[in-house]
Each structure stands twice: as C-alpha cells, then as structure tokens.
C-alpha cells in the first residue's frame, strides 16, 4: 500500500533553511487525483497547513508563511520537498507530509499521512 | 484567511457516553469540512470528509453534521480507543486551515 516517509535534518540553526523530503512508496506522485502537502504541529499545539503541490508543479502556500516556503516535486524519484528559509525557534515542530485526495469532484482532504519528523530550531 | 475555532478545547467523558465537538468557521465554507483524530505521538487520521461522509474503515459511531459556518462531530457510545484529540479542517479555500483541536479525556 502507499506510504509516505519524511526525511531530513532534525536540527537546524536559527536563520538557516529547513529542508525536508517526503518519499512516496507503493504509489506515484504523478496523478491528477492527488496533491501533496506539508503540515506541521508545534509541540503541544494544533496543526498548521504549510502548503501543497500538484504533480504539474502548481503550488499553494499558507499566506502566513509565504515568502519563506518553497515546495517542489520530483516525479522520477517519487518525492516532494519542503524548504523553509530564515527559521526561528517558532518553526520548531513535528513536520508531516500528507496526501490530499478528493471526493464528489472537489471535496479535498488529507487521507494519508507520514509518521512525522520533529525538527528543532536551535 | 478562514479561521477555524473549536469548542470545547478539552472534554472529559466516560466510556459509553455520547459526546459532541463543535467547529465554527469565520465565514461560510458550505460543507468543505473534514474531521481528524490524533493520538499522542501519531499522525492524524481522517474520520469525516465533506462534513458528513464517513471515511472508509471508520466506525459508524462517528458522525458529522453542519454546513455554512457551524459543524459538529458526534461520537456515540465512546470506546476506550476514542480518547484522543480531534481537529477540524476546512478545504473551502485553497489555503487550508485547521481548528486548534479538542482533547477528549477519560473522566
């Protein structure tokens, strides 16, 4: 079955760039039926959507992070990636990659998640 | 941006109880509303999509209702495995957003 796995450095210094990759196994990122998302959760807090990408390369970002976020996709490697620049302690969080699926033509939701990876900015 | 507000932020209940969690959107989102369950140290799990549709494999004791700005998640006959945090999420806007979560604890 399809699985998602996050990878990347667990510790990032303030002002540097956080980089994570999500590898999709058992499936493909090259489908118009899905989009590929990054979501984060600071310790003890709620979930925050960061952004997403379609296999075409089209992206949407959370306005609160826009300017610092870039999401890209590599269909040949079945991966999509997150870069977050100029990080501070407020960016410390568990970062999840998640697949967006839809029903009834346009009701989107997150139906498959990676296990998450804690990234600490310090 | 669409703000999602959940209440209560925490709730205590007993096995067998019926509980209701509310989610309110800052503007009308039709039925573009999803619910997730999250257990400590785990990723969220989709329960309900499009406000009322039960995700495959989710027990029928979970149900969702609402449209516009006000939505509810109801769990009938609470089971021990249902004690978790529940979050709503809107997909009306291409900038998705979540509620802050409701922690359901054992009384």
pLDDT tens by residue, A66-111: 789 999 999 999 999 999 999 999 999 999 999 999 888 888 999 9
Residues in chain B closer than 8 A to A60 (CB atoms): 94-95
Report the pLDDT value the prediction gives residue A104, as an integer from 0 to 100.
82
Report the pLDDT value the prediction gives residue A98, as an integer from 0 to 100.
98
Question: Helix, strand, coil shares of chain B as percentages rounded to 5?
Answer: 5, 50, 50
Best of B21, B95, B99 to substitute, by most chain A Cβ atoms within 10 angstroms, is B95
- Give A32-78 pLDDT, tens digit per residue: 889 999 999 999 999 999 999 998 899 999 999 978 999 999 999 99
Report the pLDDT value the prediction gives residue B28, as an integer from 0 to 100.
98
Flag whether residue B5 sits within 8 Å of chain A, measured between CB atoms.
no
Query: Is B44 within 8 Å of A49 when comparing Cβ atoms?
Result: no
R_g of chain B, CA atoms, integer Å: 13
Each residue of B1-31: b (16+ CB within 10 Å) or e? ebebebeeeebebeeeeebebbbbbeeebeb
Report the pLDDT value the prediction gives residue A31, as an integer from 0 to 100.
87
- Give B20-51 pLDDT, tens digit per residue: 999 999 999 999 999 999 999 999 999 999 99
Report the pLDDT value the prediction gives residue A1, as an integer from 0 to 100.
92
Report the pLDDT value the prediction gives residue B62, as an integer from 0 to 100.
98
Flag whether residue B66 sits within 8 Å of chain A, measured between CB atoms.
no
Q: How far apart are CA B94 and CA B16, in angstroms?
A: 38
Report the pLDDT value the prediction gives residue A39, as an integer from 0 to 100.
98
Measured in angstroms, the CA of A14 and the nearest CA of chain B are apart by: 25
- DSSP E strands in chain B: the ranges are 4-7, 10-13, 19-25, 33-38, 45-49, 53-54, 62-67, 70-75, 85-90, 97-98, 102-106
Report the pLDDT value the prediction gives residue A106, as an integer from 0 to 100.
85
Measured in angstroms, the CA of A43 and the nearest CA of chain B are apart by: 10
R_g of chain A, CA atoms, integer Å: 14
Query: In terms of DSSP bridges, do strands A107-113 and B97-98 run parallel, antiparallel, or are they unpaired?
Result: unpaired
Q: What is the mean pLDDT of chain B?
A: 97
Report the pLDDT value the prediction gives residue A36, as an integer from 0 to 100.
97
Going by C-beta distance under 8 Å and a sequence separation of 6 or more, which residues neighbour residue A67? none
- Reported confidence tier of residue B88, pLDDT bands at 50, 70, 90: very high
């Amino acid at each position: 079955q399809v699985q998602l796995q996050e990878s990347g450095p667990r510790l990032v210094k303030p002002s540097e760039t956080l980089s994570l990759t999500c590898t999709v196994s058992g499936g493909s990122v090259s489908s118009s039926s899905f989009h590929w998302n990054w979501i984060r959760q600071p310790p003890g807090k709620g979930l925050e959507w960061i952004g997403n990408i379609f296999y075409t390369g089209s992206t949407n970002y959370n306005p609160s992070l826009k300017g610092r976020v870039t999401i890209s996709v590599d269909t040949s490697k079945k991966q999509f990636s997150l870069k977050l620049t100029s990080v501070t302690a407020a960016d410390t969080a568990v970062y999840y990659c998640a697949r967006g699926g839809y029903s009834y033509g346009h009701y989107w939701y997150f139906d498959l998640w990676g296990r998450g990876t804690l990234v600490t900015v310090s | 941006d669409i703000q999602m507000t959940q209440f209560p932020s925490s709730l205590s209940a007993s096995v067998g109880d019926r509980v209701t969690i509310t989610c309110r959107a800052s503007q009308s989102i039709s039925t573009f509303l999803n619910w997730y369950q999250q257990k400590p140290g785990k990723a969220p799990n989709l329960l309900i999509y499009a406000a009322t549709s039960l995700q495959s494999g989710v027990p029928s004791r979970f149900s969702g209702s609402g449209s516009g700005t006000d939505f509810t998640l109801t769990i009938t006959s609470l089971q021990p495995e249902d004690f978790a945090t529940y979050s709503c999420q809107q997909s009306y806007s291409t900038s998705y957003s979540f509620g802050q979560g409701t922690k359901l604890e054992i009384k």
